[in-house]
Amino acid sequence: MSRWEHQESEGSAEPQLSDFEIFADLYPRLRRFAAVVADLDMEPDDLVQDALAATLRRHDLSELDKPIAYLKRAIVNSVSNQRRRAGTFRRLLPKLASASSSSDHYPSDLAVLDELAPLDRAVIFLADVEGQPHALIAQELGLTPSAVRKRAHRARKQLRRILQPDLIPISEDNA
């Protein structure tokens, strides 16, 4: 639990933490989150910085009830916006890469995460890596718990389909 969360949970009468102290406390978690949610060509530090700048234009961090949730949502929104802007280029990039002579002989399974939408990557990261319950993820990302469960299920299904394309699903007819 961070100093900021600890102070909030106790409801102490201590002076409120400054925006700098709040951000310094939350930065490692935000950067890790941004690294997972970001596409491979996006820099996590830039995403965190953009989210912080956008947030500070509207609010002080100390004014927000849950700055971590607000900043995580801002990061997801930033990734979605950048993805939308780069849509045409992104669709052409695999064709350009396959035409190139230098190919990755040992591709990483982590590159498969780039196939997921940023919000789906966020849900998978928060649920499967950080082990957060669906209700908390829903609160942090501005979704309903049902939507989080559906997104997680569909994202895992998509990852299985990408990672194991040659597997034939077992049905009662094949058994």
Quickly list DSSP for 64-133: -S-HHHHHHHHHHHHHHHHHHHTHHHHHHHHHHHHHSS---SS--GGGGGGGS-HHHHHHHIIIIIS---
Q: State mean pLDDT over 105-124.
A: 77
Q: Are 159 and 116 in contact (CB under 8 A)?
A: yes
pLDDT in tens, 5-35: 555 555 554 568 888 999 999 999 999 999 9
* Average pLDDT of the residues of the chain: 80
What sign for the dihedral angle of Cα 92, 152, 78, 2?
A: negative
Helices (H), 86-144: 87-99, 118-124, 134-141
Q: What is the pLDDT of residue 101?
A: 47
pLDDT band of residue 167 (cuts 50, 70, 90) is low
Higher per-residue confidence, 107 vs 77:
77
Contacts of 77 (CB under 8 A, 6+ apart): none
What per-residue string of b and e applies to 122-161 under the rule 16 or more CB within 10 Å gives b? bbbbbbeeeebebeebbbbbebeeebbbebbeebbebbee
User: What's the pTM?
Assistant: 0.59
- Answer yes or no: is pLDDT of 174 > 90: no
- Answer yes or no: is pLDDT of 142 > 60: yes
- Answer yes or no: is pLDDT of 83 > 60: yes
- Answer yes or no: is pLDDT of 99 > 90: no
